[in-house]
Amino acid sequence: MHNFKAGFGKARIQFNPDEAPIREFEAKLDDLYCRVLLISGPDNWALVSFDLTSLRATAIKRYRELVAELLAITPSKVWVTVTHTFAAPHLPSTTETPAKQASYQLIDRKLVESLKISCQLAQEDLQTVEIGQVNVNCPLNVNRNILIEQGWWLGRNFEGYSNHQLRILAFKRADQTVNLVVNYDIQQSVMDHITDDRGRRVISSDLMGNGIQGYEQNDQVAIFIPGCAGDQRPLFTGEAAPSFAVVRTLLINQAVIVTESLQRAVQKIQDWQPLQRLWSSQLPVSVPTQVQQHGTFEIKPTKTYKFEPTGQMTTLHLWAVRINQYGTVGTEPELNSMFGESCRRAIAGDATTMIATLVNGAAKYLPEKLDFDRITYQSMNTQLGQTADQRLLDACVRFGRIMREEDARC
């Protein structure tokens, strides 16, 4: 066993009112942040989280390389993730027009500025810590696949599966303050396409962002890494609210539950132990692709749909990190909540294992066989084809074997 140090950093992504509009956003409800966890010792590893919807591969590659340079570690030891709030401006996918180029440069500059500050603060915070793990029940998520007259669509399905476990890895510093990594199967869509009373679309870190900001007192930092929320939604969203004031109330009230859950979770931890072990690895996974026949906003519920395989494969990844005995496995696509539980059992059979999505990339949804049978939103809104779920699950089994072999060597 070795002694490791951990440091956390957090910096605001400085979108200012005088810069609006930023893409389609013209107002800001609350701030977006970049957060960084650095673990340093005989081996090193870093986790970066942006309050964004997603990031494309080219941007992620650049940010991983920048973090590696700033923190003197290799890019393969860096995870770049997003919190998947829908109320944040995307980096444009292309810079083919002057307007898109200007937007890209502005957003990229803000992200890089916050990333550099967060990395610096994480380095300055490096210290010996004790770690603990806990799961608490937090029933703010609900299955969103619901059968209507036209077919399977989006709604609230209380009979459908939702994993309500909020999984928390805690890092206690010498001053007894506790930083967190938080994993939960929920879509960040309370503020999706919400406009204020003046008709301006608003920026927000959404439910989990506000919830963890409520926890982040006394210089504490909490990093949310999205779980398996492909078929999940918050209990209440702002889409049908009669006014912006009601939307804010829905957001705040649900965020308070997240804050209270985190505070209660930390109080429950009894087994604090020195941070003495770090191991990380990755595994490529080849999966089939299909033709995505409609754009995201063109998809409608239907009972008839012919899925068209491309005959080609694409490469996804499983990334794993083990901190002491606590494992986290990440991948690019969005997974369903029950499928995430299947992955967890395949990897470790351990309820403490975190399954993280949108890690080092974004690949839309990875539907299960049942999604294709039902013709769900997830099955139509992706380029990942049939049997991709089984291939990823098989890879989880292989990764679990690798992790157990590594445990046996320690």
pLDDT tens readout for residues 79-100: 999 999 999 999 988 888 888 8
Given a cut of 70, whether residue 17 has pLDDT beyond it is yes
pLDDT tens profile 367-386: 999 999 999 999 999 999 99
Q: What is the mean pLDDT of residues 220-241?
A: 96
pLDDT tens profile 270-327: 999 999 999 999 999 999 999 999 999 999 999 999 999 999 999 999 999 999 999 9
Cα gap 400→335, rounded to integer Å: 18
Cα gap 66→60, rounded to integer Å: 10
- E strand segments, 149-257: 151-157, 165-172, 178-184, 202-203, 222-226, 232-234
pLDDT at 1: 58
Say if residues 91 and 128 touch (Cβ distance below 8 Å).
Answer: no
Beta bridge partners of 148: 151
pLDDT at 120: 98
> Of how many residues is the chain composed?
410
Distances (CA, A) of 3 to 102, 127, 227, 369: 46, 10, 29, 45
Say if residues 178 and 170 touch (Cβ distance below 8 Å).
Answer: yes
Half-sphere exposure of 282 (CA within 13 A, CB side): 17
Share of the chain above pLDDT 70, in %: 100
pLDDT tens profile 41-69: 999 999 999 999 999 999 999 999 999 99
Q: How many CB atoms lie within 10 A of CB 245?
A: 11
Edge to edge, what strands does the sheet with 309-323 contain?
278-290, 309-323, 326-330, 354-356
pLDDT tens profile 112-145: 999 999 999 999 999 999 999 999 999 999 999 9
pLDDT at 214: 98
Cα gap 126→5, rounded to integer Å: 6
Residues 6+ apart with CB under 8 A from 116: 66, 70
